[in-house]
Structure 1
Amino acid sequence: MASLLSVQCAASLKKSGNVIHLRRAAVRIHSREYSSRKTTSSEYLHESVVPSMHYQKSLPRLPIPKLEDTIRRYLAAQKPLLDEDQFRTTEKTALDFQAGVGKQLHEELVTQDKNNKHTSYISGPWFDMYLSARDSVVLNFNPFMSFNPDPKQDYNEQLVRSTNMVCSAVRFMKTLRAGLLEPEVFHLNPAKSNTDRFKSLIRWVPSSLSWYGAFMVNAYPLDMSQYFRLFNSTRIPKRGRDELFTEEKGRHLLVMRKGNMYVFDIVDRDGNLVKPAEIQSHLKFILSDSAAAAAFPLGVLTSENRDVWAGLRDKLISAGNSEDLRLVDSALFCLCLDDESMRDHIHISHNMLHGDGCNRWYDKSFSIIVTKDGQAAINFEHSWGDGVAVLRFQNEIFKDTTEKPLVHPGSDPAAVDSASAVRRLHFNLDAELQQGIKKAKENFNSAVSRLTIDAIQFQRGGKEQLKKSKLSPDAVAQLAFQMGFLRQYGQTIATYESCSTAAFKHGRTETIRPATMHTKCCSHAFVFQPDKHSVEELRGLLNDCSTCHGQLTKEAAMGQGFDRHLFALRYLACSKGQALHGLYTDPSYAAINHNVLSTSTLTSPAVSLGGFAPVVPDGFGIGYGVHDDWIGCNVSSYPARNVHEFLQCVHKSLEDIFSVVEGKPLS
């Protein structure tokens, strides 16, 4: 589950009778024009009237659901996955947990939460889950989001685009750290709340009360606590549990090309952006470097098992490489300059998700990858935060580089001594370290060779048509995945949809469970018995699925799912050395957490593709977006599943759904 893209507020938030559709909000937030922006110097993207973290202190706390509600939701999610005998056993076990051990653990969790009001009950355990995982971050954790091309074709040239992205990233960083970045807020009534007048007022409301001031005009601030980890941050491998490192004093950029590593300053001693023409000169120098590809590319070690990498890192330090490793860890971010051009969107997905393992430092909080033909993407390490912060960054960078680029085709790089300004890192590698790199590369090649990616674009309709038909676009996409899997494998299977809980202080994610009795009934009717149901009956089943999915998304975004609550109770029991209750050892608990269909949605004006690997060996990793008039799916699998056939089944399911929406009988 760790590799899921939490890049959309994938649900609805209900406050005082108002339903706030955060899935749509995420898109609107990231594509909107900020009305309070005013253009300043080249140092900042904009100056917000309201300080960036103005709402942080007064954000509502993530609620702990009632235990009886959690068990009820858990059993409802189990029902479509189990036969009658299995369900009765699971029900008995769950109710026993609710009445006994679970009740005690829940009371302890509530008490613990009351004593830690500065954070959320899930934050600590969730960090621990990520950082204690020993699997490679590649495929298991790091997702990617690729940029759309610059609309001005000449600006997609690798040097020009890389320079502009580096400059815009520094501008974003400076805007954020100066407190001038527009706060992340969903405006239910923007005519009242997204105005200069309101912002001029709310800035004077104390931070401890500011959320309530926004709430009074139907504006809902989102958590921004993860943003500080965007820059100068790296995941450091340690035996047993990794650590997150952040050094905000770092002024340099890490650049990788052909597995070689370079650093140079992109912020001067006064904290200002280095002149864009100088950055362009330094990047041109790196792109022109005739050095051969690294014989022992150190970056591939970041793709290793975390304990193996931790041991090799200790050896690197013992061999006298601590200073250069510190430069890697403290760099603002990593820029990966690839010498390869992309053939198609499948090639892009593979390159941006994993690449060749040599020209990446997967532990950096994020890396910007730019290929020879100017395709660009962000690959990010997932433990420090979720995709909400990364998507905001990506949208701002895309907007800034396409609307206000600082270098242009034909711009002359500065006449500076880049050979002196750019430092190529050289590491002392003994025979043991060289062997470790060689073995890491073999393991990497073996892992990625098993991954297949395919994609479809369903062109018959999308969000606009579904909304006119009063159907949830997300519910329809999720139903198509249920139908597709049933059509291919004859089963209803455990399904995970990522949902942000950023409406709460230190919220992370909650799980929407799209496989329900409604989707099971509807899928069986469409797949196995279409001739036994009228169009009206099938349409009624679609309506039921949409309504049910809408309710699940509202609950999840309100922190009212069951997955995080049960996870926290289990974590608490383990931390006390307490034997796990039968609920956690029940095979059905393992089955529902073996998420064969792992899904996350992504739509943004900046993003072309998003993707991640399956979270289980026999699973699918489904990145999807429901656009105005089409639906896209970017899906990955390992050999245990046939991704090409699955997408054919999903496409057929969408065809059938849209036929019924249009009032046509199924053929």
Structure 2
Amino acid sequence: MARLLSARCVASLRKSGINLRTTALGITKQNYSSKKGSSTEYWSQSDTPFMQHQKSLPRLPIPKLEDTVRRYLAAQRPLLDDDQFRRTEKFAHDFQSGVGKRLQEELVAQDKNNTHTSYSSEHRLNSFLSIRTTVMHVNPFMVFNPDPKTEYNDQLVRATNMVYSAMRFMKILEGGLQRPEVSHLNLTKSETDGFKSLVRRASSILSRPADMSSFVRLFNSTRIPKMRVDELFTDEKARHLLVMRKGNMYVFDIVDRDGDLLTPAEIQSHLKHILSDPTPAAAFPLGVLTSENRDVWAGLRDKLIAAGNAEDLQIIDSALFCLSLHDESMRDRIHLSYNMMHGDGCNRWLEKSLTIILTKDGHAGISHDHASLDGLAVLVFQNEIFEETTKRPLVHPGSAAAAVDSASAVRRLQFNLDSELENAVKKARENFDSLVSTITIDTMEFQKGGKARLKKSKLSPDAVVQLAFQMGFLRQYGQKAVARETCSTAAFRHGRTDTIRSVTLQTQRCSRAFVLQPGRHSAEQLQAMLSECSTSHRQLIKEGITGQGFDAHLIALKHLDDSEGEALHGLYTDPAYAAINLSNLAAKPLSL
């Protein structure tokens, strides 16, 4: 299932020392005007260069092999019975003393020859690109809050403001004027002029700069389906927007030949033209093909190219981003979540690195390809866009669209499809509907406590949430949860994520006490168990964000082992290794 990210997930980045609300580490100059005078292409300009800290970022450390094996076995212990664990323990120790030792030496040697990056970055990316199931399973989505001024939630008004703000964000990135994401260990000092001056000169040991390299894939990027392993494609020269409505695709240039953005009124005119287009829903919406198995879609894409659609596919791939306009109003949060996750499957190009979604009643969200982007870039983008469109909108209810020839400026893409491709689209829709029928979303709002109360009790809110997930699974199914969550390693050069294995002996004991042994423990004993869970979980988080998790390390060693053309070591063919990587309960961390 696709993973839901909310604005609260910014807390997972704070674990890496990244505080998105306290990172304005340059004097910000407002109202940097474009040549067009009436528009404002740059809403801010940071005195600290965007990539200021990139070269000074530490590289992700390669953990000691014995530490990785120890952590791996600790994660397996609560999931296995005694006989299973002895088998897995034997594989792990044999790996550590044998082939693993040689692979570790090779990995260290490779790392020394690739000082421009971190040892796990390529392997992590390949892991994403090698996924052969539908990308619906991995593409995260986020939902914007409604504009507090309700009249600005009109679909056309909000879409225009968001598109224009997104383009201004792109211009800031192009100019290197976006502030780098950095936080001070003492957040009360991070806004002082003295500290700002210091970080402009050098990366301070008191600050935690974040890797900004993934920002380059926010725009003009797409994941291209290929047999076995997909590819990432970026065309920085393209300056057109892709808009999808009713399964139809439209494009128009949003940057002119001089490099200036269209005015908000011009964008409004073009979007109004698309929303008013009487063309019926596409009979064969190609977007649904992107929800197929990756190898199946790769083969169909080759057939599309052979049928004469190469140019239009290139237009889709190179578009700045995708704007998905839905003709449906949302009933409630559950309906909204389904819509943002996948919609009807026909109005998305799931491979675009970034898609902004607008429903008929102005609810907005973001979907993104996880191979291209991780949480940091998308969360920064979302926060900036929401801030600008709600506090400084440039299009207002009743604003007049520009008197331009939108009918000539906007082009609807039309594809050549033979009977085989038409049948493939029909089959993809059937597969999509079948998959969606297995997805269930429900919500519950808990109002009897929260982060502040848990922290007052010296408990990690994230540990308690993860524990609640495991207890719920045990109560519902009577089984152990195989749970994991991601943590950010953005404090390292080309750092992405690693995995926190949140099921521990402590959480297992605590879950049994609450769910299976009611009344057998005193309140003090239960509180002590909660405290133990919190302490062990904090340790796992610290290991993860400092590059001491075991998942990225084992993946890198596995890639080396696999590249030698011989059978993988038993550690990797052990059913327990496969089982721990097929979590029946996966979640995003909320807060320390």
Q: TM-score, normalised to structure 1's length?
A: 0.85
CA displacement, residues 112-142 of structure 1 (integer Å, 9 cap, x when unaligned): 111111111111112212222221212x221
Question: C-alpha distance in 2, partners of 1:2/1:241?
Answer: 20
2:368 alignment counterpart: 380
- Residue 39 of structure 1 is aligned with which of 24, 30, 47? 30
Residues in 2 aligned to 1:364 and 1:379: alpha-carbon distance in whole angstroms: 9
1:394-448 CA distance string (max 9 Å, x none): 1111011011111001111111111111111111112222122111111111111
2:14 counterpart of 1:22: yes
Map 1:338-353; keep pairs closer than 5 Å. Answer: 338-353=326-341
Indicate whether 1:135 and 2:123 are aligned.
Answer: no
Report the equivalent of 2:253.
Answer: 265
Residue 122 of structure 1 contacts residue 564 of structure 1 at CA under 8 Å; is this kept in 2? Answer: yes
Query: Secondary structure of the equivalent of 1:560?
Result: coil
Which of 150, 162, 165 pairs up with 1:165? 162
Q: 1:234–1:363: 8 Å Cα contact kept in structure 2?
A: yes
Judged with a 3 Å threshold, the aligned counterparts in structure 2 of structure 1 residues 326 and 227 are, in CA distance, closer, same or farther, namely same
Alpha-carbon distance, 1:30 to partner: 4.4
Output the amino acid matched with 1:378: I
1:491 aligns with 2:485: no
**Counterpart in the other structure of 2:390:** 402
Matched, 1:519 2:507: yes
Q: Does 1:52 align with 2:44?
A: no
Task: For residue 312 of structure 1, report the CA deviation from its aligned partner.
Answer: 1.9
- Structure 1 distance, partners of 2:364, 2:153, is 9
Q: SS at the partner of 1:64?
A: coil
2:80: which partner in 1? 82
1:24 to 1:101, Cα distance in 2 relative to 1, 3 A: closer
Q: Higher strand proportion, which one?
A: 1
1:467 aligned residue: 455
Distance 1:10 1:107 in 2: 36
Task: Report the CA distance between 1:85 and its aligned residue.
Answer: 2.1
Moved more, 58-67 or 438-447: 438-447
Q: Secondary structure at the match of 1:321?
A: helix
1:70 counterpart (65, 68, 71): 68
Count, aligned residues? 584
Deviations, residues 428-474 of structure 1 (Å, cap 9, x unaligned)? 11222212211111111111121111121111110111111111111
User: What does 1:561-600 correspond to in 2, within 5 Å?
Assistant: 561-600=549-588
Give the counterpart of 2:150 among 150, 153, 174: 153
Deviation at 1:306, TM superposition (A): 1.6
Q: Identity of aligned pairs, percent?
A: 66
- Once residues 229 and 412 of structure 1 are traced to their aligned partners in structure 2, the CA distance between those partners, rounded to angstroms, is 34
Residues 498 and 510, structure 1, Cα contact 8 Å, conserved in 2: yes
Kindly tell me: are residues 248 and 289 of structure 1, through their superposed partners in 2, closer, same or farther at Cα, counting changes over 3 Å? same
User: Among 113, 123, 127, which residue is 2:121 paired with?
Assistant: 123
Instruction: Encode CA deviations 1:258-300: one digit per residue, 9 max, x unaligned.
Output: 1111111111222222110010011001000111111111111
Give me the whole-angstrom Cα distance separating, in 1, the residues matched to 2:522 and 2:419: 71
Three-state SS of the structure 2 residue aligned to 1:532 is coil
Q: Indicate the SS of the match to 2:183.
A: strand
Q: Is the 8 A contact 1:226 1:385 kept in 2?
A: yes
Q: Distance in 2 between matches of 1:106 and 1:231?
A: 37
Cα 1:58–1:46 shift into 2, 3 Å: same
Distance of 1:32 and 1:371 partners within structure 2: 32
Greater than 4 Å deviation, 4+ residue runs: 1-11, 30-35
SS in 2 for 1:72: helix
- Contact 1:185–1:220 at 8 Å: present in 2 too? yes
CA contact (8 A) 1:36 1:195 kept: no
DSSP 3-state at the match of 1:477 = helix
What TM-score, normalized to structure 2? 0.95
- The 5-angstrom pairing of residues 394-543 of structure 1 reads 394-543=382-531
Letter in 1 for 2:52: H
Alpha-carbon deviations, 1:299-354, whole Å to 9, x = none? 11111122222222222222222222211111110000000011111111111111
Q: Aligned partners of 1:94 and 1:371: how far apart in 2?
A: 51
Residues 64-73 or 181-190, more deviating? 181-190
The runs of 5 or more residues in structure 1 that have no matched partner are 12-20, 602-624, 628-667
CA contact (8 A) 1:254 1:333 kept: yes
Shift of 1:2: 9.0
- 2:547 corresponds to 1:559: yes
Match of 1:186 in 2: 183
Q: Aligned equivalents of 2:428 and 2:59: distance in 1? A: 42
Equivalent pair of 1:501/1:509 in contact (CA under 8 Å): yes
> Please, which runs of 5 or more residues in structure 2 have no aligned partner?
34-39
The one-letter code matched in structure 2 to 1:174 is K
CA distance in structure 1 between the aligned counterparts of 2:362 and 2:5, rounded to whole angstroms: 24
In the alignment, is the contact (CA less than 8 A) between 2:25 and 2:196 conserved in 1? Answer: no
Partner amino acid, structure 2, of 1:68:
E
8 A Cα contact 1:9 1:499, kept in partner = no
> CA–CA distance in 1 between the matches of 2:305 and 2:353?
21
Where in structure 2 are the equivalents of 1:193-342 lying within 5 Å?
193-203=190-200, 205=201, 210-211=202-203, 214-215=204-205, 218-342=206-330
The 2-side partners of 1:144 and 1:575 are apart by: 34
2:3 and 2:398 map into 1 onto residues whose CA distance is 40
Amino acid in the other structure paired with 1:257: R
Q: For residue 354 of structure 1, what is the aligned residue in structure 2? A: 342
Query: Could you tell me which amino acid in structure 1 is paired with residue 475 of structure 2?
Result: R
